[in-house]
Amino acid sequence: MSGGPREKPVLLSGGNPQIAKGYGDAPVQAWIAAAPGWKGEVWRRLDRLIEDAVPGVRKAVKWNSPLYGAEEGTWFLGVHVYARYLKVSFFRGAGLEPPPPVGSKQKHVRYLHIHEDEAFDEAQFVDWVRQASRLPGEKM
């Protein structure tokens, strides 16, 4: 296929981009490019912050969500688009100091919800990312 217009990615319920499973930066960048409006712009910035905070960070898209990991086969962070916010999952977030603000039914998971016109503390986000990258990751 050459010369044809690029197809728009399918957006699932809530606006989460449907991106094929893949490992490395390319599928994550495809997910970012497909995320609707402000959500893609915000995640592009946070993706850079994660790269700066964790040199050599591993990336993948699984279950239509970007994942970030420090060790082979494990992940410390994931993100998902919902209609009104980005949901950042810290898979061992209960072990972070201070813990991210939103609890989970899962014992160790904590969330950060990012809304469009709501400021959030980038320095705190980077600190959580650094802390999370040093904890045992989740196998997925």
State the CATH number of the domain containing residue 98.
3.90.1150.200
In a domain, 86, yes or no: yes
In a domain, 5, yes or no: no
Residues near 2 by Cβ (< 8 Å), separated by ≥ 6?
A: none
Q: What is the greatest pairwise CA distance in the chain?
A: 51
pTM: 0.89
The proportion of the chain whose per-residue pLDDT surpasses 70, expressed as a percent, equals 94
- Residue 103, pLDDT > 70, answer yes
Structural domain containing residue 66? 13-139
In a domain, 62, yes or no: yes
In a domain, 8, yes or no: no
Position 38 scores a pLDDT of 92
d(CA 73, CA 140): 7
Position 71 scores a pLDDT of 85
Region 100-127 average pLDDT: 94
In a domain, 4, yes or no: no
In a domain, 100, yes or no: yes
- Residue 11, pLDDT > 90, answer no
- Residue 124, pLDDT > 50, answer yes
Position 1 scores a pLDDT of 38
In a domain, 20, yes or no: yes
In a domain, 3, yes or no: no
- Residue 138, pLDDT > 50, answer yes
Position 8 scores a pLDDT of 67
| Percent composition of the chain: helix, strand, coil (DSSP 3-state, to 5) | 30, 25, 40
Count structural domains, the chain: 1
